[in-house]
Structure 1
């Protein structure tokens, strides 16, 4: 192998590793199994090696599309064999951080059992449309290309999945404990405490804004640390019924954060910046949330 070819391969490895956390998060939420998610990500790397990488303009988008197609094939194969999702109590843990049955159990325990419903009851096409669009902000044009359907059909699949997820029963939770997690997140963001943020974030946490998505605890924690000034004025709030934070400015919300939890860690952070969206969502400040018992929040 020539030096030039080796340099190119090293660059491709570094670029792929930069996308690995997000790809793993996509696959894990699609498949419900950390082990299968690693298989899907590895398959994406193999396919990248077989492609003309120099002609790929948007590597992140290309890899997400490949992982989506791989996951879709795996889900369809699972359905055709009439199999249940992988038994998370017997799955062998992998060397990769965050992979294994413990992570599978955490994923299944998401608030409102939403992700469990997605993985267990939706069709493969519905799962893909919901996970890619609603959790990772992939445009319907790209989702439709993976499914081989029109954007309108992909939108309808996601909408149908969303209605079923929103109708899923809520598991019993301790609201006060979740407010303590929010408080710990806010304190760590204010103090620039990277390790403190990692302690309250799920390894596969997703932070989503209108502009894009960050995935993985390290990336989300690093992003939170850059907003220490905003964290200084943020206040606890119920955001569309979920524990979260509101950042006020001139007497009105400038931004709102809604949290989805996996047990005692934050798994999804939805950040709303758009003024029109802020005006539509229900934001209720909770001044005493960090010291209140469940009956008060």
Structure 2
């Protein structure tokens, strides 16, 4: 490590709002009245999938590196900041999900992207908020840093940088939907009603490598709607079990330690 320190002493909160509000805000709205204040990062913005995202830092220290709790006063502060930016939106009614996590900061107070002094083959990357936005460009720059450090890099000869777009009934016209159903009847079976995701899309996501419920969610948005998979989750898990030829009780949300159906719940189902 070079001459800087990483701290996880502060937290931030994100609220995800229903897609029905996605057309009300078309660009990033933020407040920077005082660039030196911690609250300068509060943001309301549309996402790629037309949800609204509300972000605000929490002006109090975290309780440790595992502190991801979202308390009521924190939620109230996040909503208050959002209403200051956009007063005419009923944020409370349309909250779909909320998250809280640590905000990593470094002692230099700026973006850090450089080769380590003791080991040039190791690249130090320390990004203050909102550094994740720069990730694609940072990845390319990190490759160049490694190249200049003398590391022998070889491009994969058969690497394909283009991923074939999945067919989605949510984005299709009526004629396109009819053609999809004609080709594969599973497009006519909507599993996730909140996000209009069909069985065929879930099967395609599994064939592309999804092995967990979150893997399917990230590829199709099944479970990202207002019900947060409370309605479609069991059926998605059943499709995953069927397509991977595994027992239903082995299905997980995100891998080891996240069994989707608790053993005691499964036992009660069998007893009925």
Which structure has the bigger radius of gyration? 2
Higher helix share: 1
TM bracket (short chain): under 0.3
